[in-house]
Amino acid sequence: MSRTGVVRWLSIAAATALLGVMPGQLHAQSSPTIALVVGVKGDPFYVTMQKGAQAEADAMGAELIVDGPAQFDPVQQTPIVDALIARKIDALLIAATDKQAMIEPLQRANDAGIPVISVDTFIGDGDYVNGPVTFPLSYIGSDNTQGGMIGCQALLDAVGGSGKFYIQNVKPGISTTDQREQGCRQAIQAAGAGASLVGVDYNGDSAATAAQQTSALLQRTPDLTAIFGANLFSAEGAAQAVKNANLSGSVKIANFDAPEQAIADLKAGTVDLVIAQKPADMGTTGVDYALQAISGDTSQIQKRVPTGYVVITRDNVNSQEAQDAIYKGQ
């Protein structure tokens, strides 16, 4: 769709909304096409993001294409971006799988006139005003350094501020999980000499690998105090290993992300804290920003939109806020 076509479509959408007709009910005009490229297909975090994006696209009468790699990998994500450029989409929302490797493919999209918006992860250093990469219009996502601190501070509080800590992580180069690790390290360091980090393992976004690595660590360090699982699959694998070793409750776990399994592990006592992000909000705001960019008016677009957390414990797990924050599996 040409920019003039999009502007005309948005004016009609606004006018019909004023008349009480949803823009989605218009059939005569073709609608703008927004693509959402997730970090990996099938992950409940991104499934929930997709639902938020789809609901907003439906409400606004826009077309949403959703795609993503089978693995959390820039080599697999790059051809997806190139195919969308060739398809001449009107805007791109993307959770880049690597903060460096995805700069070039996304620069190609931008050079082709496609507005690029980061959701969940960023490229460069995420500072799209003064950083080394400024072409993406916005970075919509959690404050992940703060998230890592919240997780590891809660673990420290639960064990009296000292002990042996372990981080299960995905792989270096992903903005979100790098920052969570950094936040966790900062909390442990600030706790003083009694608290030490005994290891960090990278599982490549596989819960099975995370479980194997955690089992090996538990063998080597039988007096381990607590584990920070830096994303959904890292935490799931860590919890599985702790259950297998019959150590539920004695080794504390902070679980980043909130799929149903994490809530079950929280209720059963294996996990002590679940940090829920707000992926649906990332999707909704992403679509709103994409439509503004397509219309040519970027004046209301903020370069950074932190989306916040819901921290779930056994005390509040049944509250409406906590229940609403649980990710959707499909």
Binding site for ligand T6T (CB under 6 A): 39, 43, 45-46, 120-121, 174, 176, 231-233, 256-257, 277
When the beta carbons of 43 and 56 are compared against ligand T6T, the nearer one is 43
Minimum Å gap between C-beta 177 and ligand T6T is 6
Task: Report the C-alpha gap between 133 and 47 in whole angstroms.
Answer: 28
Minimum Å gap between C-beta 52 and ligand T6T is 14
Minimum Å gap between C-beta 306 and ligand T6T is 13
84: phi then psi, degrees, rounded to nearest 5:
-70, -35
Residue of 59, 90, 76, 23 whose CA lies nearest to 51? 59
Minimum Å gap between C-beta 46 and ligand T6T is 6
Minimum Å gap between C-beta 112 and ligand T6T is 25
When the beta carbons of 33 and 231 are compared against ligand T6T, the nearer one is 231
When the beta carbons of 232 and 254 are compared against ligand T6T, the nearer one is 232
When the beta carbons of 62 and 227 are compared against ligand T6T, the nearer one is 227
When the beta carbons of 165 and 233 are compared against ligand T6T, the nearer one is 233
Minimum Å gap between C-beta 231 and ligand T6T is 4
When the beta carbons of 166 and 233 are compared against ligand T6T, the nearer one is 233
Residue showing the smallest CB distance to ligand T6T in the complex = 232
